[in-house]
Amino acid sequence: MTIGEKIREIRTAKKISQTALATATNISKQSIYKYETGIINNIPFDKIEKIANALGVTPSYLMGWDDKIEKIMEGAAAYLEKENKLNAAILEMYGLDAMEILERFVDATESQKATMLSFVQDEKHTHDLFSKYYLLDDRGKKTVENVILAEYKAMNNKK
């Protein structure tokens, strides 16, 4: 629906004549007619604002923005609902560790993602070690992390 069609629809629903709307907005009756019939499509915003106020609606409603915002919000709500269901399913099926891995993957750079994917896809031995790491308690994980950091520092010192 165009802005002009919306103006006409609201005006007639509220039983306001074009003359009355013209008087209330200080816009000529001819301009109101041209807006409603689409002869003039580029209505200046100050005129839209005056017409909206006189009709008791917002300018964004006349311009169709409220509909677009509502559709965007509905889409966002549907997306969040799907994401929440997916997160709940992952959590139920694989546990908290899987959720943490997924969150780290999502936050990673493209290079880090590629490394993570090759890490879990290519080498069964590495994959098995990675799986075992997540079975360790906090002390065991900290020990493994310290060894990895020490090896990483030693490797960088050799360069």
The range of the structural domain enclosing residue 38 comes to: 3-63
Cα–Cα distance, 4 to 48 (Å, whole number): 10
C-alpha–C-alpha distance, residues 20 and 76, integer Å: 41
Domain annotation covers residue 100: no
Rounded CA-CA distance 87/82 in Å is 9
Mean local confidence (pLDDT), 52-66: 88
Q: Is residue 152 part of a domain?
A: no
Q: Which position has the token pair 């915002």? A: 69
Structure tokens at 42: 């580029």
Percent of the chain with pLDDT over 90: 35
Question: N- to C-terminal Cα distance for the chain?
Answer: 67
Is there a domain that residue 80 lies in?
Answer: no
pTM: 0.46
Determine, yes or no, domain membership for 10: yes
The total of structural domains in the chain comes to 1
Lowest mean pLDDT among 4-8, 120-124, 129-133, 149-153: 120-124
Q: Does 14 reside within a domain?
A: yes
Residue 50 has what DSSP assignment?
H
Q: What is the pLDDT of residues 99-147, one digit of tens each?
A: 887 888 888 888 888 877 776 666 676 767 777 888 889 898 899 888 8
Flag whether 96 is in a domain. Answer: no
40 close to 31: Cβ distance less than 8 angstroms:
yes
- Please state, in angstroms and rounded to a whole number, the distance separating the CA atoms of residues 120 and 48: 58
- Residue 20: give its domain's CATH number: 1.10.260.40
